[in-house]
Copies of this chain bind each other. A is one copy, B any other.
Amino acid sequence: MTARTPNPPTGLRAATLPPVAPRPTLRDVATAAGVHPATASRALNEATRSLVRPATVERVREVATALGYQVNPIARSLKTSRSETVGVLVPDLTNPLFPPIVRGIEDALGASGYTVLTANTDNDPARAASNFAAMQARQVDGFIVATARLDDPLMHEAAERGVPMVLVNRLTEHLDVSAVAGDDATGIARTVDHLVGLGHRDIAHVAGPLNVSTGSVRLRAFRTAMQQHGLPDDRVVVAEAYSDAAGHAATLELLDGRAPTAIVAGNDLLAIGSYDALEERGLSCPEDVSVVGFNDMPFISRLRPPLTSVRVPQYDLGVESARLLLDVLSGRTATPRMVLLPVQLIVRGSTAPPRG
């Protein structure tokens, strides 16, 4: 059995022998360096270092590393009322779309000394609100939100209150904050071009939920693209969620009428659902029906058949959203920016010319 006191009430610490060397404080460093704590603070702090005589800086820093000093971010936060922490809201980490985004965020933010708090909202506005509030209570300096709805009171309220934040992937209408997303419209346009080029004319869209921007933007883009090719734009069914189950249900509904020769799915999960529905109806892909996904999720190329999909640079989405937030936090950026990252249609085995 080992000695305890994981985090002793730092008072008279001499009493505890074997266990923890209490972390040295700024005072300790100052004393050891023979200066006042304020001076030590200035010497150790990037922004105020210039106020201190170089020799003193040197001495303080040496002592600090010698003692293994690390600032106590808690104390600093209390003083500065910033926490060097940002909150990230995602719908669900187990949706393969989001881990790369989160990693991009963590990598970019971590490089600037920020720590990331993530929360899963499961697409529930109430959970989003409570997570948001909890993170604010923890004094996060800002938010990166991947859960925004097209009409999202929470986002509007936060923006009005001046909470630093950035939207990623999903946008909110009429909201004046920075945002990053893939160029969905172009992605869908290229998809339709590709299918039409293969000879398809009867193309359907399994749309994502229309209360999030990706669903509604891609639907609009689908309609526009079809019109531009002089094709009917009304072969649309809306899925209840971005899940394989919802895609399955929506596609079944579609197939209950005359089957299209190609399906443009709102994202890869919906496309997987389409695979299931086709199989269930005895239709094969791509022979009977071509299918295209969206996002190019990890491992999606390994489905049977390999899914043609629109590659969205998810990691970069995360990195870029982090950059935008850093801009906001640094106060450099006056006006919100909207960044659309280029996407690319990756053609694989799930699309082929129509039969006959």
* Chain A residues engaging chain B, CB cutoff 8 angstroms: 1-7, 9-10, 18-20, 70-75, 77-78, 81-83, 92-94, 96, 99-100, 102-103, 106-107, 110, 115-120, 125-126, 129-130, 132-134, 137-139, 141-142, 153-154, 156-157, 159-164, 176, 272, 275, 298-299, 302-305, 334-335
Given contacts A74-B138, A139-B72, contact A133 B7 (CB under 8 A): yes
A99 surroundings in chain B (CB, below 8 A): 93-94, 96, 99
Find A74's partner among B78, B102, B275 (CB 8 Å cutoff): B78
**A6–chain B nearest beta-carbon distance, Å:** 4
How many copies of this chain sit in the oligomeric assembly? Answer: 2
Q: Distance in Å from the Cβ of A180 to the closest Cβ of chain B?
A: 18
List the B side residues contacting A141 at CB < 8 Å: 7
The 3 closest A-B pairs by CB, nearest first: A7-B129, A304-B304, A6-B129
Cβ-defined contact, A70 with B137, below 8 A: yes
Select which of B73, B134, B302 is within 8 A of A115 by beta carbon: B134
Given that A115-B134, A303-B302 are contacting pairs, would A6 and B74 also be in contact in the complex, using a CB cutoff of 8 Å? Answer: no
Evaluate contact between A153 and B71: CB separation under 8 angstroms. no
- Closest B residue, CB atoms, query A157: B4
Give Cα A71 to B145, complex, Å: 24
Q: Which of B78, B83, B302, B305 contacts A272 (CB 8 A)?
A: B302
